Amino acid sequence: MKLAEALRVIHQAQRSDGPPCQVYLACGFEPLHLLTFLNAHCSLARPDRHVTLRRGSYANLTGNLESPAARESEHVAMVLEWPDLDPRLGLRMPALWNADTMREISVESARRLARLEHALEGLRHQSVIACAPTLPFPPAALVAPWLASELELDLEYQLSSFRQRTRGLGVKWLSTGALGAVSPGTSRYDCKGDFSSGFPYSMTHADELAGLLSSLLFAPPLRKGVITDLDGTLWKGIVGEVGPANVSWDLDHTSRPHGLYQQILRSLAESGILVGISSKNDPTVVTEAFQRRDLLLRAEHVFPMEVHWGPKSESVARIAKAWNIGLDSIVFVDDSALERDEVARAHPQVECLAFPGDPGGVETLCRRLRGLFGRDKVTEEDQLRLSTIRQNQEWQAVTDAGEADEAFLAGLNARLLLDCRRHNPDSRALELLNKTNQFNLNGVRRDEGEWLRFLAQDNAFCWIVSYEDRLGPLGRIAVLAGTREGEHLTLAHWVMSCRAFSRRIEHACLSWLFHEVAGKPGATSVTLQFAATPRNGPTRDFLRLWRDGADGQEAAEITLTRAAFEQHCPPLHHHFDDQPLTDGAGQRSEFASQEISS
């Protein structure tokens, strides 16, 4: 992006009537064009909000992080450079570079990093991102430039430990490798600009850095499943012609790129990403190929397998239905341009990627898949996802015939657990909020900064509901969040995973709201801030039980009383576990788990 283009983006974004979104840029240098590029990239990433940027004072990184402006912002972006560890590591300041100075710089760096860590601890209600020094290490050491000096190694060690510790505080650090891929180290520093204005970056580096920082702040929605071809993609060779024993994916057969692709798919599968197969082939031959012990992507990692001679677009539709996810959450990989075109025409929401014919292209594809599916950590729900989809086949056999009968529901031995922490909240809550479509009260998404500020309200609550029954655990499957005024609750968010449908968990959640919990009286009334979306039909259908005319065509607040709920609530067969939970500050939460009968 050129500077003129960035200014046009900012000018157009200023006309937005969306809610404000404030980002605070903390750095020790004069941010100048970095501020402009970051504003533009953030505005493009969040067109639904009016993004504004604030900056701190020059040469005072720690003070900027400690300022009220930083604590009042939803998001804080910290850009760390070598002079922030000690001004003598910058080229603008006259300094003696000798052995005594090197020792002093090491001590001063440790002191400043400790103060920075303390400042970051005070930003727990903000979304904080950061990047390590991006500019070359100054020629301060006494050794030749091609030799790593004791000082450079010492400061790199200090920084590495600092980054690891602050990651535990929730700080998200920019990957140095990702920055190196788009901004070569030799073209980052602008010495003339540093001397004249205090802005040390080249225009290209400022733009690339701003783009990556924006991605850290406002990550695009992650995809949920990948559907892959077999012949010429998962392995080299046509299995129906050469036989299951002769397809390959190793160095000896010059087919290692296929093995690399299998590695990334298995890694994705083991982190909870759904992997399916769509192949025009003989099912018997494919089954035999998947029995090979040297296959990296095993049959247990894949579900379902659509192996037949019909159109692949039909396979994609059936797989999406089995997964119960939207087509816009699916990536399709095939080496055939014809097959990719057929799927793309039938399902334009699906992202179709080519399996390339060269090793470099496959390596790029693997990085692309990691970007589409990457996540900060693997949760219990991620590991359960494939097994619960398979378990749901038994459940589906019951519900396809209509509503499950009382005997079946009673025999599930269903258990619910409530986690009510809102300080140091479980990241699963925000993940569910932003990826759930079908049972979603209003479709409102929140970035991390918005979410933390919402939970910081004195009267806010956030409940995360976990579920298991005799078919197996589903993990944390529902989130309810809102505010409380006396005995009245306002529910601003309510989402539930589609894996939990038809088990009356939604009824149980409402029951929880109306009953006494942990010695606190239950609500006498609850206002649900409902709004229709193109995909939350199950929510609209559920709310019709409680209010006539809730047809979901327009936004509508629905207030439900305890008496009305108890009058229409069907029998509930859940056991509510009474497990003491704290609010993260060592105190028992206002709402804790207990058994409730209805």
Per DSSP, the residues of 478-544 read EEEEEEEETTEEEEEEEEE-GGGTTSSHHHHHHHHHHS-BTTBPPPSEEEEEE---TT-HHHHHHHT
pLDDT surpassing 80 at residue 304? yes
Residue environment code for 357-369, b if the CB has 16+ CB neighbours within 10 A, otherwise e: eeeeebeebbeeb
- Token pair recorded at residue 399: 């519900």
pLDDT surpassing 90 at residue 391? no
Region 103-128 average pLDDT: 95
What value does the mean pLDDT of the chain take? 88
Query: pLDDT band at residue 470, thresholds of 50, 70 and 90?
Result: confident
Residue with tokens 């078919």: 471
Query: pLDDT band at residue 423, thresholds of 50, 70 and 90?
Result: low
Domains of the chain in start order, with CATH, are 3-217 (3.40.50.1110), 226-373 (3.40.50.1000), 403-576 (3.40.630.30)
Q: What's the Rg (C-alpha) of the chain?
A: 27
Q: Which residues contact 554 (CB under 8 A, 6 or more apart)?
A: 531, 532
pLDDT tens by residue, 536-565: 888 988 888 776 434 444 557 889 998 888
3-state SS assignment for residue 243: coil
pLDDT at 109: 97
pLDDT at 211: 97
Bridge-based pairing of strands 415-419 and 460-469 is antiparallel
**What is d(CA 170, CA 172) in angstroms, rounded to the nearest whole number?**
6
Kind plus residue range of the DSSP H or E element containing 448:
helix 448-455
Is 455 in contact with 425 (CB distance < 8 Å)?
A: yes
Among residues 354, 384, 428, the alpha carbon closest in space to that of 272 is found at: 384
3-state SS assignment for residue 366: helix
Q: 422: burial class by Cβ within 10 Å (0-12, 13-18, 19+)?
A: buried
Task: Decide which of 578 and 125 is more confident.
Answer: 125
pLDDT surpassing 50 at residue 568? yes
Per DSSP, the residues of 24-80 read EEEESS--HHHHHHHHHHHHHH-TTSEEEEEE--TT-HHHHHHSHHHHHSSEEEEE-
pLDDT surpassing 80 at residue 119? yes
3-state SS assignment for residue 132: coil
As a whole-number percent, the residues of the chain with pLDDT over 90 amount to 61
pLDDT at 125: 85
Among residues 535, 571, 172, 207, the alpha carbon closest in space to that of 403 is found at: 571
Per DSSP, the residues of 534-559 read TT-HHHHHHHTTTSTT--SSS-EEEE
- Token pair recorded at residue 483: 């505010």
**What is d(CA 453, CA 458) in angstroms, rounded to the nearest whole number?**
11
pTM for this prediction: 0.77
Residues paired with 173 in a beta bridge = 130
Amino acid present at 189: Y
Q: Which residues contact 220 (CB under 8 A, 6 or more apart)?
A: 45
Most confident of 141-150, 351-360, 584-593: 351-360
Region 234-254 average pLDDT: 95
As a whole-number percent, the residues of the chain with pLDDT over 70 amount to 89
Q: Which residues contact 472 (CB under 8 A, 6 or more apart)?
A: 384, 387, 388, 391
Region 186-199 average pLDDT: 96
